[in-house]
A and B are shown apart, each in its own frame.
Chain A
Amino acid sequence: MNKNLYQPINGEIADIIDESPTIKSFVVVPEEEFRFATGQFVELTLPGEGEAPFTPSSSPAITDKMEISIMKAGRITALLHECEKGQKVGIRGPYGSGYPIEDFIGKEVYIIGGGVGLAPIRSLFLTLVDRIKDFKSVICRYGAKTPEDFIYKNTLFDSWQKIKGVDMKLTVDQGNGQWKDNVGVVTTICAKDDVDVKNAVAVICGPPIMMKFATMKMLEFGFKNSQIYLSMEKNMSCGFGKCGHCMLGKYYVCKDGPVFTYDQIDKYPNIWD
């Protein structure tokens, strides 16, 4: 008999980092070693309140703790934002299949992120830069509403930009006095010349509307549907393809995804809703 699928591993919030006015990162320490592949997600339980799905933003190389960046968006996330260090939590997972890193080898990896969508992308980014020589280049195009809304500011504005083989550009929807960079939605910093489409993959993660327009942009650049990797955030609950809430056409996003190539899902209605 397998162990009880519904029973989370006990854990504790060891640290909380304020990332932006609406996003906090939680350092979660599980009571036992916890391994995940980049792009996989976990169900984080606030005992007595409920659970919600999140993709860890830390490197999968770290197995004694994980970082989860959470935007205040609903009931559970609002409660999590009120938590303090030492809060007991439960962790189930990891679930899903994550990013197929091996398929990216030798290619240009074109990453487009928006808002809290940088969370899963950070885990991917850290995984890629760990073995940067395996990839032709890593190109990041990342947008936030305002300069204050960027997360991981310390590294994003500094050390990440200096990594050899990484080409990073940032944009905001709305600037402030200090912002010297681009103003406009994320697709305004994506240019066809950025990337050799024939030998590249596009990875997109962010709010649905941004993912939709970024996908359109990539198609315009000449990417095939099968070269575009989308991190689909649906209502994942059980995590193993049974409860049905996250179904996207024939797929259980929790089990068959959450990362899909666009050609897998382009025929289904309302994928961006």
Chain B
Amino acid sequence: MQTVFLTDLKPLLAAVAERMDLYVPKNAGTHYVYNRYDPSAGVPVEVNNIRVCTPSKEFLFPLRELAAVFPEPLEPKEIEPFAVFGLKDCDLRSIEILDKVFTEKEFEDPFYVKRREKMFIISSDCSDPADSCFCNVLNGRPFAQSGFDLNVSKVKGGFVVEAGSPKGVDFITTHSDLFIQAGDEVIAQRDTKRAETQNQLEQNNADLKFDVPVNEIVENGQDSDVFDEEAKTCVECQACTRVCPTCHCFYLYDTKKEDYFSKMKMWDSCMRIAYAEVAGGANPRKVLGDRLRHRFMHKFSYFLERYGLDMCVGCGRCVDAEAGDVDIREVLKKLNEELKGEGKKKAKVGK
């Protein structure tokens, strides 16, 4: 693939915005949010140091959407191409996870698929991981590994731009006047920076080192009291699931309009008490600790078994968002301690 260099982001963003709607990160003080890019507004766009606060799933799987209409059926409407700048490795990996669910051969979600086909992804390297970032624990990196069309890395005096897909190559070729060839020096600079950030992440998460795969830790601990204990600090705000870029539960409900009826699809949360309740009142997860247990098992065991991936990318959004005090990293740590403790016990019995 192609790697090029440019000194200013503006012409690149303008060239993208000329072709399609472009969403860019906006610094909102303590965090970033996405805004539609308006080249005429003259607001400078910066490379966000970490992921944007809101989950990347919003671009493909919106909070609420129209799913069906009566009595005349709804054909998924054509989507105009759009681009998102500033997605991080965790976001790209979360999109890979959502792809597994919503583009499944036999049961394609037509709304997701339409958006996914039209999405142009311009990712960027992380520069200063947040305290809550722990992607390195789950095979993530502070720079895009795959799943992008273009990736932007900030270096001294400019930006290294790499194409990661035929669409990205096409863009660079079409706009060759914007770029110069990236020299070995800037690429080396980028790689050094990446290694430094990776190092910083590893230091931040030094206490999150596991000897066995995370799924084994969680599966071993599935009956653990840790979940019930942790649930005591949960206030059921459901923020963890809303802000999670991989959580994809949804709720179907019907509404009446004057001359037609519609079926809506809206984000839901497995932490909600009535989530699994059936008519008549039976509910397999009416206890909060059981819901937390299920959430962890889904993320680290069930999804892995079905699709071959962990359903957590270590973005840490849930850690930042929650109103209570359930920290996904702390839960994993406690379960790991239990597993290690059991190992020791077994070893003793063995002797």
Contact = CB atoms under 8 A, between A and B. Distances in A.
A74 B301 CA distance: 33
Contacts of B156: none
Overall SS of chain B's interface? mixed
A1 B113 contact: yes
Given A6-B68, A7-B74, A73-B279, A1 B110 contact: yes
A3 B283 CA distance: 33
Contacts of B255: 48
Contact of B68 (A1, A2, A4, A245): A4
Interface stretch (A152-160, A166-174, A236-244): A236-244
Contacts of A240: 106-107
Contacts of A74: 278-280
Given A4-B68, A7-B73, A242-B250, A47 B290 contact: no
Interface string B257-270: 00001010100101
B119 to A, nearest CB: 16
B249 A245 contact: yes
A47 to B, nearest CB: 4
A189 interface: no
Interface string B278-320: 1110111110001000100110011001100000000000000
A8 B71 CA distance: 9
Interface in A68-115: 73-77, 88, 90
A270 B282 CA distance: 10
Contacts of A63: none
Interface in A214-239: 233-235, 237-238
Given A1-B108, A273-B286, A247 B251 contact: no
Interface stretch (A49-57, A118-126, A133-141, A195-203): A49-57
B265 to A, nearest CB: 7
B256 interface: yes
Contacts of A233: 278
A269 interface: yes
B59 interface: no
Nearest to A46: B254
Nearest to A78: B279
Contact of B108 (A2, A48, A241, A270): A2
Top 10 closest pairs, chain A to chain B, by CB: A74-B279, A6-B67, A48-B256, A244-B249, A47-B261, A240-B107, A250-B302, A48-B261, A73-B279, A270-B284
Interface of B: 67-71, 73-76, 101-102, 104, 106-110, 113-114, 248-256, 261, 263, 265, 268, 270, 275-280, 282-286, 290, 294, 297-298, 301-302, 305-306
Given A240-B107, A273-B282, 14 more contacts: A1-B76, A4-B74, A5-B109, A5-B110, A6-B67, A6-B263, A7-B263, A8-B70, A8-B263, A241-B107, A244-B250, A249-B297, A250-B297, A273-B283
13 contacts: A5-B107, A6-B67, A45-B70, A47-B70, A51-B252, A51-B254, A52-B279, A90-B70, A235-B275, A235-B276, A242-B101, A250-B297, A273-B283
